Amino acid sequence: MFSNLDFDVVRRSLGYLFLDGMTFTLTLTALATLGGIVLGTLIALMRLGNLPVLPKIAAAYVNFMRSLPLVLVIFWFYFLVPYIGAWITGAERPIAVGAFTSSLITFTLFEAAYFAEIMRAGIQSIPKGQVAAGYALGLTYPQVMANIVLPQAFRNMLPVLLTQTIILFQDTSLVYVLSLTDFLGAASKVAQRDGRLVEMYLFAAVVYFAISFAASSLVKRLQARTAIIR
C-alpha cells in the first residue's frame, strides 16, 4: 500500500513550495496580524469608550464578523473589493485588485474582530484606579491609553495574541478557495500536476503541524515566563 509512493516529488518541488507558497503564507500572516491588531485595538477602544453610538457600531461589527464563516467572508471581499476600489477612486467600472491585496484586506478586517475581543479583555483587566491616577496627574485620554493602559494590556494579552496569530496562520490556508498559491495552494498544484496527492498533502500536514506545534510550545514558555504572580 505504501509501495507506490514517491516522496521524491516533495524534494523536487521544495523551491516552489517554500519560496512561492510559504513566503505568501507567512507574508499574509504577518501583515494581517499587524493590521488586525492595530484595527482590533482601535475597535476595542471604540467599544469601551463613552462616545455616543461608537460602542454600538464596534460591538455590531465584532458580532457580525464572528458569526460568519471565513470562507464566505473571503468570497465576499473577493467580489466586493473591486467595487469599493472603483467607488473610492471614482472609476467607471470595478478596478482590478490583486489576489494578495484582496486576501490581505479580508484577513485584516476579519481577524480584527477577533483581536478586538482579545484587546478588550486586556484593557478591561487593567485596574480602574490606574486610569483615574493618570487623569489625576493631568494626562489626556490618548496619553493615559498610550502610556499606561495599552502597554500593560499588550503585555498581559501577548500569549493570547500570539495564539490567535497561530490560528490566523492556519486559516490562511483557506485562500485555497480562490486558487491562490499559498503553501497549501502550491502543494495542491504540484499534487494535481504530478498526480501525487498522498505525498504532497501528507507533507503539507507535517509542515503545518511542525510550525504550529513549535510556535505554540514557544507561546507556552513565554506565558510561563511573563506571567505576573498576583
**Contact residues: another protein, CB under 8 A:** 1-2, 64, 67-72, 75-76, 79-80, 83, 86-87, 92-93, 170-171, 173-174, 176-177, 184, 188, 197-198, 201-202, 204-205, 208-209, 212-213, 216
Q: Which is nearer to another protein, 161 or 187 (CB)?
A: 187
Q: Name the minimum Å distance from CB 72 to another protein.
A: 5
**For another protein, the closer CB: 146 or 206:** 206
Note every long-range contact of 27-30, with CB atoms under 8 Å and residues 24 or more positions apart, other chains counting.
28/100, 28/103, 28/104, 28/107, 28/172, 28/175, 28/182, 29/165, 29/168, 29/169, 29/172
Q: Three cell numbers at 43?
A: 475597535
Residue 16 CB, nearest approach to another protein (Å) = 18
Tell the smallest beta-carbon distance from residue 80 to another protein (Å): 7
Is the CB of 137 or the CB of 210 nearer to another protein? 210
Whole-angstrom distance, CA of residue 54 vs CA of residue 20: 41
Neighbours of 19 (CB within 10 A): 11
Query: Residue 142 corresponds to which cell in the numbers above?
Result: 490618548
For residues 56 and 78, give the distance between their C-alpha atoms in angstroms, rounded to a whole number.
27
Residue number with CB closer to another protein (23 or 212) = 212
User: Nearer Cβ to another protein, position 87 or 135?
Assistant: 87
Q: Which is nearer to another protein, 79 or 135 (CB)?
A: 79
Q: Cβ of residue 202: shortest distance to another protein, in angstroms?
A: 6
Q: Write down the least CB distance from residue 144 to another protein, Å.
A: 31
Q: Shortest distance, CB of residue 151 to another protein, whole angstroms? A: 28
